[in-house]
A and B are shown apart, each in its own frame.
Chain A
Amino acid sequence: MAPQGRQEILEGAMAVAHAVARCRPEVIAAYPITPQTHISEELSTIVADGELQAEFVKVESEFGAASVCLGASAAGARAYTATSSQGLMLMAEVLWNIAGMRLPVVLACANRSVSAPLSIWCDHQDADSIRDCGVIQLHAEDAQEAVDQHVIAFKAAEDRRVLLPVMVNLDGFLLTHVFEPVELPDQALCDAFLGKYEALYKLDPGDPMSFGCFTEPDKCMEGRWMIHDACLRSAAVIEEVSAAFARTFGRNSGGLLEEYKSADADTVLVAKGSICGTIKDVVDELRDKGRRVGLVRIKTFRPFPRDRIVAAVRGAKRITVVEKGGSFGSGGVVTPELKDALYDAGLRIPVSGFCVQLGGREVAPDGIQEIIDRVEKGEQVHYEYFRLKKAILPDLVP
């Protein structure tokens, strides 16, 4: 185990598992699914080796995993799970309940395409499609952030002003399976930072109670509003916890947004996840040639940091969202939320939305550059599947 200040070369998923262990969850329940499996596999080894005093519950499905975490959290335990893609879909019903019962379960989503067609590779459609259920969503750009955001996730989730589940998104394979230099959070610092989880209410046979009780129409809206309100207000808590994390551990891994050379940029790209590494390289290259390009990276997708994004992009001449997802029959997921925020702020900056990397297709720097070139020539795109290969579509498609 690395002392504070020492980097190790670790696989992303392994690094996350060891970081989670240092947050001392008392109950872990998970079901294997590529590309998440290494996280839960490594955690089960850590528990079996006696390095972490926790109950590792082997379950029959992700529905079971989420349900075990729900029950454990309601009983006052710090609970953790990890999943991907179809596994997250299977958890969906339980996640709504976890959020509604205001249980601070932390989970990782190793982002992966959702079937069909079957694909094990990365995109964001799994996480994006559960955006409405009250789960706070953080997005990591690299393995170090994925590690650190787990510590931030537990702290923010368990804050009495929040009490909501937090999901740390890390791109499947691109982050889970890549070896990078990572500094694990020091155990003593982690213990001091998180403290012990004290539940507001907990299941106890000696003092029985029910969670998420039935509400008649005269009360249900208020029950739902409390989730919305807590999720909105969690933005400030995430920033506060992230600042405290930076002071304690010396790294700026949390927060709502990262503004990368965007302050004076004419063309601002907006994206989340590991693709931001590629975008930053392109931004650097174009900046060297004198082009005013920048990136605003979404680190917290739920709650959606409306005001912060508007403030970060308001000087731009054009905004281009590069997203690994979308809503069939509508368009993007991030793109319309950004437009919504701009509209309310009275800003009519042209916004384009590009869908890239579905099912893990690579977008090299030249792809990002092509997108920037097109919008800088005046093109404005509502939502486009970037570099769609029309030649391989069946004749039935017009």
Chain B
Amino acid sequence: MSAKLSMDKLSIGCVCLPGGSIGNHTGAWRSMMPVFKHAACIGCRACELVCPEGCVFENPGKKHLVEKLKREIADRDFDPDYCKGCGMCAEECPVDDIDMGLEEK
């Protein structure tokens, strides 16, 4: 019924449709920023699952060789528009392949 509800133009009760909060760029909250090292990552997806912003993704076409496994694994990266720097991905990564660094603005 309400094809265009989003948070760009407010509605009564600030109602929006799925995806309607896409304009809320939580990246502006960040002081720390993750660095995905693409070295030891085994592709377990823990970072994708724990990210509260759902902004970690598999970067299509980008891969790194994991020597221990002797095969290539798809790179994980994050969307800086939405990453709020919480550090959960780095905390949960089982092979320590994500660092958190201070972001200079």
Contact = CB atoms under 8 A, between A and B. Distances in A.
Interface stretch (A200-208, A238-246, A261-269, A303-311): A200-208
A213 B18 contact: no
A226 B12 contact: yes
A212 B7 contact: no
Interface of B, secondary structure class, is loop
29 contacts: A100-B14, A101-B13, A102-B12, A103-B13, A163-B13, A200-B13, A201-B11, A201-B12, A201-B15, A207-B1, A209-B2, A209-B5, A209-B18, A209-B20, A210-B16, A210-B17, A210-B21, A211-B14, A211-B15, A213-B15, A213-B16, A213-B20, A213-B21, A214-B24, A215-B14, A215-B24, A222-B10, A226-B10, A226-B12
A219 interface: yes
Contact of A101 (B10, B14, B24): B14
Contacts, number: 64
A163 B12 contact: yes
Interface of A: 100-103, 163, 200-201, 207-216, 219, 222-223, 226
Given A100-B14, A201-B2, A211-B15, 19 more contacts: A101-B13, A163-B12, A201-B5, A201-B11, A201-B15, A207-B1, A208-B17, A209-B2, A209-B5, A212-B14, A213-B20, A214-B7, A214-B24, A215-B7, A215-B10, A219-B7, A222-B10, A226-B10, A226-B12
Q: Chain B contact residues (Cβ within 8 angstroms of A): what range?
A: 10 to 19
Closest 10 CB pairs of A and B: A102-B13, A101-B13, A201-B15, A213-B16, A213-B14, A223-B14, A102-B12, A209-B17, A211-B15, A212-B14
Given A207-B1, A219-B10, A226-B10, A214 B21 contact: yes
A222 B14 CA distance: 10
A210 B10 contact: no
Contacts of B13: 100-103, 163, 200-201, 211-212
Which interface residue of B7, B15, B21 has the most chain A CB atoms within 10 A?
B15
A368 B13 CA distance: 44
Interface string B1-42: 110010100111111111011001100000000000000000
Given A209-B2, A209-B5, A213-B21, A200 B14 contact: no
A201 B18 CA distance: 14
Nearest to B3: A207
A175 to B, nearest CB: 32
* Interface-centre pick from B5, B14, B25 (highest chain A CB count, 10 A): B14
Given A201-B2, A215-B7, A210 B15 contact: yes
A101 B14 CA distance: 7
A176 B50 CA distance: 52
Nearest to B28: A216
